[in-house]
Homo-oligomer: A and B are copies of this chain.
Amino acid sequence: MPRDANTTAFNVILFDGFESLDVFGPVEVIGQVSDIYRLGFYSLHGGIVTSAQDARVDTYPMTDADPDGVLLVPGGPGTRLLIDDATFINQLLGLAKQASFVLTVCTGAALLARTGLLDDHRATTNKLAFDWVASTRPQVDWIRQARWVRDDIIYTSSGVSAGIDMVLGFIASQYGTATAQQAAYHMEYVWNTNPYQDPFALT
C-alpha cells in the first residue's frame, strides 16, 4: 500500500523491558491500513531498546515524533521503573497532550496515568497487574472488567493480547467495522469484538 505525506503518524513508544506483543499486535493491525498510517518507533533517547523477550529494536528519539499523530504506549516489566523517570514522563506528556488519539496496552496505562492525563477518565489495564497500576494513580476511574475502554480520544486495553482487539476497535470506530474486519481477516485473527467481554477480569 502507498506510504506518502498524506498518511498520519502512528507513533509507538518503546523502552527497555517493553512487552513484545503489546507492541507488535497493534503494529500488525496498523500495518493492515498503511494507506492511512505510517508507523514510527521512538524511545526517550533513540537507539536500540530491548524488549522483555530480548528483541533489540532500533528507535528514533521521542523528540523526532510528529506530535499530531496517534500515540501508542505499551506495557511490560520496564514500566515499573519508568513511571519514576520524570524526563520520560514529561516527554510522554508532551506527545500525549498533542496527539489526536492516545492508546495504551497493558501496564502502559500506568505510564499515561503518571502524566495526569487519565485523571477523572475511565481506563483499564492488565488484569494480573491491576492493583499495582490502580495504586499508582487513584485519581483515575479504573475499570476492572473490560477488554478495552474508550474515553473520548483515549483508548486503554487489558493485558498483552487485548491490545490487538482494542486497536481493531479503534479502527472500527474511525473507519468502520468492515475495515477492521478486513484487517482481522488478513491477520487470520479471531477478533474479540466486544469491549465489555473480559474473560480475564478478576472480580
Contacts and interface: CB of A to CB of B under 8 A. Distances in A.
Interface stretch (A26-34, A63-71, A92-100, A133-141): A26-34
Q: Please give the count of copies of this chain that the complex contains.
A: 2
A55 interface: yes
A41 B21 contact: no
Contacts of A24: 20-21, 23-25, 53, 55
A41 B30 CA distance: 23
Given A39-B55, A56-B57, A190-B192, 14 more contacts: A21-B187, A27-B53, A27-B55, A28-B160, A34-B53, A38-B54, A40-B54, A41-B54, A41-B55, A57-B57, A159-B188, A161-B187, A161-B189, A185-B200
26 contacts: A21-B25, A23-B24, A24-B25, A24-B53, A27-B55, A28-B53, A31-B52, A31-B53, A34-B53, A38-B54, A39-B53, A39-B54, A39-B55, A40-B54, A41-B56, A56-B57, A57-B57, A57-B58, A158-B188, A159-B186, A159-B188, A160-B187, A160-B189, A161-B190, A190-B190, A190-B192
